[in-house]
Amino acid sequence: MTYTAPLADMRFALREVAGLERIAALPGYEHATDDTVDAVLEEAAKLAGNGLAPLNRDGDKAGAKLENGVVRTAPGFTGIYKEFVDGGWNSLPFDPEFGGQGMPWLLATTVQEMWQAANMGFGLVLLLNQGAIDAIHHHGSPAQKAAYLPKMISGEWTGTMNLTEPQAGSDLGQLKSRAVKDGDHYLISGQKIFITYGEHDLTENIVHLVLARTPDAPAGVRGISLFIVPKFLPGPDGKPGKRNDLRCVSLEHKLGIHASPTCVMSFGDDGGATGWLVGEEGRGLSYMFTMMNNARLSVGIQGLAIAERAYQQAADFARTRVQSKDDGKPDPKPVSIVHHPDVRRMLMTMRAQIEAMRALGYYTAAGIDGALKHPDKETARKTQDRVDLLIPIVKAWFTDLGNEIASIGVQVHGGMGFIEETGAAQHLRDARILPIYEGTNGIQARDLVGRKVTKDGGETMLGLVREMRALVGELKKAPGDDLAAIAAGVAASADALENATKWVAQTAKGELVNALAGSVPFLRLAGTALGGWLLGKSALVAHGKLEAKLITARFFAEVILPPALAQLGPLKAAGRTVFALKDEQF
Amino acid sequence: MTYTAPLADMRFALREVAGLERIAALPGYEHATDDTVDAVLEEAAKLAGNGLAPLNRDGDKAGAKLENGVVRTAPGFTGIYKEFVDGGWNSLPFDPEFGGQGMPWLLATTVQEMWQAANMGFGLVLLLNQGAIDAIHHHGSPAQKAAYLPKMISGEWTGTMNLTEPQAGSDLGQLKSRAVKDGDHYLISGQKIFITYGEHDLTENIVHLVLARTPDAPAGVRGISLFIVPKFLPGPDGKPGKRNDLRCVSLEHKLGIHASPTCVMSFGDDGGATGWLVGEEGRGLSYMFTMMNNARLSVGIQGLAIAERAYQQAADFARTRVQSKDDGKPDPKPVSIVHHPDVRRMLMTMRAQIEAMRALGYYTAAGIDGALKHPDKETARKTQDRVDLLIPIVKAWFTDLGNEIASIGVQVHGGMGFIEETGAAQHLRDARILPIYEGTNGIQARDLVGRKVTKDGGETMLGLVREMRALVGELKKAPGDDLAAIAAGVAASADALENATKWVAQTAKGELVNALAGSVPFLRLAGTALGGWLLGKSALVAHGKLEAKLITARFFAEVILPPALAQLGPLKAAGRTVFALKDEQF
């Protein structure tokens, strides 16, 4: 039940798919040399494998505990968190002006995969802090940045996102928390739920970013503002001073990620928590959206990470569990189950989709770097469009696969998979939150269809289709059965994705609800097609050198692609029947 | 979080799909009149909904507990079990000679769906007892039948299946438990794991059926014999007498079905447990196989049942949770989420597959009755062949769907789905055992491909394909778009299933491992095609009367079928790549 960062495949995806060399050549990333990147990966792999991974199962068993208003994280968490702060791991991708290392998001994403695979319950504190830093960095005042960013980037303090309320989940327009101006600050009151690491014992302060409504604000989302509401108000020396009027009133009893405290937070029980407005009133939700790309990519990476963790454990079990004879041989002696055809099919199904996710995830992260740093504005803009299109796909497709693959991991274990001691079931329990939080996967599909594809009539997606077709040409020129089979798969993907995209773009104009009824099948088709494309790219590089990579890409093309491409009919048909029943007939 | 037996759809499937009228006309089933069947269904629905369902969540929370060798079931379980015994519910399908009611398995299966949907953790004690009764009924001596069957059929005693050992899971040939002859009985010793309801406080005695090896027996499966090993040895008066040398040494800590005690059983710690041979030495495994059809059908029904439970809960949540505006209307007011296109798609996906499972499950149960009772031997034999073919499909396809549908149920709930109090997550946790126990789904697919399809070159399956094509003809003659779309789906299913079956039958001859590599995709294709066929039959009956049934069948044909039929390519292709990696490359 250990975890070993898959450095070889990570390096391959970084270099051959995401184009690390090109990213490192962008102005501001010159220090991301090959040597530095390698050193970071290797140190991170050690910390993930030796430090974080061994705490995963105990973290699940012990969970986070609330006692007298204090949240105690699981055994070992405060110690390992200190190692993160001491090692400067929180600061990797952030602005050097505030103590960051200014490394590419591509590298930070690769390292993120390791933290989340090793210990998702712990990894969440890093993920949320990263999002909060991003929000303050983009929208905070100079004074706010100076007061909070250095502490958060070092990891001495952590950040949270306080969005959800009981009546306002996906629909934040319904939120009721109030913020009343009081001199240079606001008094915040209200209850927030599902607040990840809303309270904990890892740091001396916690910086809550809270969405709330000012008294005269209009109804709906335009009335929502964003506030910085620290647990302890920073004193004149910058250190945590007076305790703010906020507290964690309870922890949720969840299916998984037990080590991550999911808090019900109460603000202003004693008259109002002190909060400072970020940016302008009424813009809170739009500020949240600017950081959502980043957070949604991170959640997608969690899907990849938990899949990798489940795969490693399943492969290890399959290699060591001896049961039944080899079907391909006369010898009646029982063999390890990795020899059994269906067990191998399961392992290949895990592996092929993991490699496809890694390729697409790192490719998307490289896009974030390109959009941020490319000196040509038009190139940067187009890259940003592509990132915007890919983010909901990464978030939803990866997290659906994270669940499917964790479930296959349980299945490979047979009866032992259902026993908690084995640890396989934890991955499934942990993975189940991923299609839900940071915007449900239905909302991702809605974003993809109703916003990302619609806004340019599908042009950005069709640009990807053109690249897929160019790859088909290259694959066909190369020798061998494997590449020919992969070329056929990528060609079919391009056709299906083009057809689906045009239908979606057209249908969303006049019959939005019909396009939305097919949005999840569309996203599945798109994710699988794009993943297969990048695996095809990988296969072209791997050909003649990395036999396993080539085989895996062919398996993806021949076994994984067809049912996903067959979503073309369903995505168009769903709207015909989905609205026909009356509500009470369900 | 309640459960209401879906009596309308159950009756429809019983009468219009499974042909209850035909079954009730078989000799020996004359008492299964419409009135009697209706009365049974209604009483069972009450007990399931009002008695069992309310204990489900508490059963999960409390779990079964082992204290000083005694297993205490969850609160309320002893009381409700007494209601089962008093009501004679255990005896429904069994031989009147031993106190059974001699009702069709079709009716027992329908009622079984209710118990398992209402409370799977409880339902397992009924399911295991049923299997044990079946084994003794088929293979026990007259004296054994007289001593055990009346008590087990009444439910005063329950039965268990003691198969698995730590080193012998799917591969029972490796089991080591020993049975040494000692006069008229045997002394049994060894450790068994994963014994469902191996110890509990519901009854005064427990009848263990134990697989063990006699001293001179050959290695492998031919050395295994089956023994009756009761917890208390029946005295001369038939009542429980001396305590036998066996005990539950621990309970497993599992992902789900917490209310069901999963025991590690130790036999013979004090010299040997007294056991009586069933049938002949060395035939133990074959005896187990004769009852497996029944048990595997029951487990498939559990998959259907948990899906129905999850669906009811999700539909209820979707109708009441208000969040975001209706996409199809200008009104900005938030509406219940059942109006949102993707939520409806999720509910339709659950519903359509549930109706397809119910149709195929009851159809298969009716086949068991036909095979048992049909006066024409040739018809009975052919019906048995069809049942044998369908059983692995029912077991594996239903239980995979049970998991997928329970997971959709969580998703419909959004963040609340991840919180244990909601109850949606329990269904997912409970469902996860189903693809594993009673033969993993990989083993079902292996049975389908390597045994059931191969033994007659696919002829039985092709017989079903011919029936599918006959239905296509009927559907095409009927009016309306819906039936036309369904006809197209069934026609495509027939083509794909025929093609796949012929390939499998052919390939299994010369290249078994390649056929096995595609066995799980084949089973998925077959299950979905057959489910769609029976929904098509249902639609023909429902046309003009039951609009919702028709719509649901069309949704299945247009949205659910295509990706499953697209397993045709993958099932043939898998063998090409699945064996290419070296073991250590995984």
pLDDT given for residue A292 in this prediction: 82
- Partner residue facing B254 (CB), from A164, A169, A419: A419
Q: Measured in whole angstroms, how far is the alpha carbon of residue A457 from the centre of its chain?
A: 27
Q: Which residue in B has a C-alpha nearest to residue A431's C-alpha? A: B418
Residues in Cβ contact with A576 at an 8 Å cutoff, skipping those fewer than 6 apart: A514, B554, B558
- The per-residue pLDDT for range A92-103, each reduced to its tens digit, is 999 999 999 999
A519-542 helix and A341-373 helix, angle to the nearest 10 degrees:
90
The token duo for A272 is: 């109002």
Q: Which residue in A has a C-alpha nearest to residue B440's C-alpha? A: A414
Give the minimum alpha-carbon distance from A586 to chain B in angstroms, rounded to a whole number.
Answer: 6
- The per-residue pLDDT for range A47-70, each reduced to its tens digit, is 999 999 999 999 999 999 999 989
The verdict on B575 touching A (C-beta cutoff 8 Å) is: yes
The verdict on A166 touching B (C-beta cutoff 8 Å) is: no
The token duo for B371 is: 């095979």
The verdict on B250 touching A (C-beta cutoff 8 Å) is: no
Residues of B with Cβ-Cβ distance to A517 under 8 angstroms: 341-342, 344-345
DSSP-assigned letter for residue B170:
S
Taking the C-alpha atoms of residue B248 and residue B71, their distance in angstroms, rounded to an integer, is 8
Taking the C-alpha atoms of residue A318 and residue A340, their distance in angstroms, rounded to an integer, is 9
The verdict on A392 touching B (C-beta cutoff 8 Å) is: no
pTM, to two decimals: 0.98
The verdict on B428 touching A (C-beta cutoff 8 Å) is: yes
pLDDT mean over A76-82: 98
pLDDT given for residue B290 in this prediction: 76
Residues of B with Cβ-Cβ distance to A167 under 8 angstroms: 322
Cβ separation B425–A432 shorter than 8 A: yes
Taking the C-alpha atoms of residue A560 and residue A557, their distance in angstroms, rounded to an integer, is 6
- Partner residue facing B516 (CB), from A315, A327, A581: A327
Query: How does residue A537 score in pLDDT terms, banded at 50, 70 and 90?
Result: very high
pLDDT given for residue A239 in this prediction: 97
pLDDT of B449 higher than 90: yes
Query: How does residue A1 score in pLDDT terms, banded at 50, 70 and 90?
Result: low
Taking the C-alpha atoms of residue A5 and residue A23, their distance in angstroms, rounded to an integer, is 22
Taking the C-alpha atoms of residue B423 and residue B55, their distance in angstroms, rounded to an integer, is 12
Contact A278, A139 (CB under 8 A): yes
- Partner residue facing A194 (CB), from B415, B551, B573: B415
Interface of A with B in 310-349 (CB under 8 A): 315, 318-319, 322-324, 327-328, 332, 334, 336, 338-348
Give the minimum alpha-carbon distance from A255 to chain B in angstroms, rounded to a whole number.
Answer: 6
- Partner residue facing B414 (CB), from A436, A446, A578: A436
Q: Work out how many CB contacts closer than 8 A connect A with B.
A: 281
Overall residue count recorded for chain A in this entry: 586
The verdict on A374 touching B (C-beta cutoff 8 Å) is: no
Tell which residue, A200, A205, A198, has the closest CA to residue A80.
Answer: A200
B284-320 helix and B424-431 helix, angle to the nearest 10 degrees:
160
Query: What does each C-alpha distance from A565 to A458, A562, B240, B387 come to in angstroms?
Result: 18, 5, 62, 33
DSSP-assigned letter for residue A216:
T
Cβ separation A220–B332 shorter than 8 A: yes
Taking the C-alpha atoms of residue B83 and residue A573, their distance in angstroms, rounded to an integer, is 48
The verdict on B70 touching A (C-beta cutoff 8 Å) is: no
Torsion of CA A116, A121, A122, A124, to 10 degrees: 70
Cβ separation A323–B171 shorter than 8 A: yes
The verdict on B423 touching A (C-beta cutoff 8 Å) is: no
DSSP code string of B48-107: IIIIIGGGHHHHHHH--EEETTEEEPPTTHHHHHHHHHHHTGGGTTS-GGGT-----HHH
Query: How does residue B373 score in pLDDT terms, banded at 50, 70 and 90?
Result: very high
Residues of B with Cβ-Cβ distance to A552 under 8 angstroms: 577, 581
With residue B228 as reference, give the H or E element that holds it: strand B224-230
N-to-C CA span, chain A: 42
Interface of B with A in 175-234 (CB under 8 A): 193-194, 220
With residue B397 as reference, give the H or E element that holds it: helix B377-412
pLDDT given for residue B299 in this prediction: 98
Cβ separation B583–A425 shorter than 8 A: no
Map tokens 């004149």 to a residue. Answer: A236
Residues in Cβ contact with B328 at an 8 Å cutoff, skipping those fewer than 6 apart: A512, A513, A579, B339
Query: What does each C-alpha distance from B561 to A525, A578, B486 come to in angstroms?
Result: 15, 15, 10
- Partner residue facing B562 (CB), from A254, A442, A569: A569
Q: Which residue in A has a C-alpha nearest to residue B403's C-alpha? A: A407
The token duo for A502 is: 């045009």
Interface of B with A in 95-134 (CB under 8 A): none
pLDDT given for residue A460 in this prediction: 98
Question: What's phi and psi for B280, nearest 5 deg?
Answer: -105, 160
Overall residue count recorded for chain B in this entry: 586
Question: What's phi and psi for B67, nearest 5 deg?
Answer: -135, 115
- The per-residue pLDDT for range B3-57, each reduced to its tens digit, is 999 999 999 999 999 999 999 999 999 999 999 999 999 999 999 999 999 999 9
Q: Is beta strand B205-213 parallel, antiparallel or unpaired with respect to B157-162?
A: parallel
pLDDT of B293 higher than 70: yes
Cβ separation B341–A584 shorter than 8 A: no
What is the set of active-site residues of A? 438
Residues of B with Cβ-Cβ distance to A407 under 8 angstroms: 403, 432
The verdict on A401 touching B (C-beta cutoff 8 Å) is: no
Tell which residue, A344, A482, A412, has the closest CA to residue B581.
Answer: A344
pLDDT given for residue B1 in this prediction: 62
Query: What does each C-alpha distance from B198 to A452, B162, B206, B261 come to in angstroms?
Result: 56, 8, 8, 7
3-state SS, A385-430, equals: HHHHHHHHHHHHHHHHHHHHHHHHHHHHCHHHHHEHHHCHHHHHHH
pLDDT of B547 higher than 90: yes
pLDDT given for residue A293 in this prediction: 81
Taking the C-alpha atoms of residue B544 and residue B521, their distance in angstroms, rounded to an integer, is 36
Map tokens 């249908």 to a residue. Answer: A507
pLDDT given for residue B294 in this prediction: 86
Contact B553, B543 (CB under 8 A): no
Cβ separation A565–B566 shorter than 8 A: yes
- Partner residue facing B578 (CB), from A324, A348, A411: A348
- Partner residue facing A432 (CB), from B418, B516, B579: B418
Cβ separation A169–B414 shorter than 8 A: yes
pLDDT mean over B385-396: 98
Taking the C-alpha atoms of residue A61 and residue A207, their distance in angstroms, rounded to an integer, is 28
Taking the C-alpha atoms of residue B311 and residue B117, their distance in angstroms, rounded to an integer, is 11
Cβ separation A517–B345 shorter than 8 A: yes
DSSP code string of A431-485: HTTTTTSSS-HHHHHHHIIIIIIGGGTTHHHHHHHHHHHHHHHHHHHS-SHHHHH
| Per-chain mean pLDDT for chain B | 97
- What is residue A182's three-state secondary structure? strand
Cβ separation A583–B336 shorter than 8 A: yes
pLDDT given for residue B413 in this prediction: 98
Q: Is beta strand B246-251 parallel, antiparallel or unpaired with respect to A273-278?
A: unpaired
Contact A426, A60 (CB under 8 A): yes
Give the minimum alpha-carbon distance from B553 to chain A in angstroms, rounded to a whole number.
Answer: 10
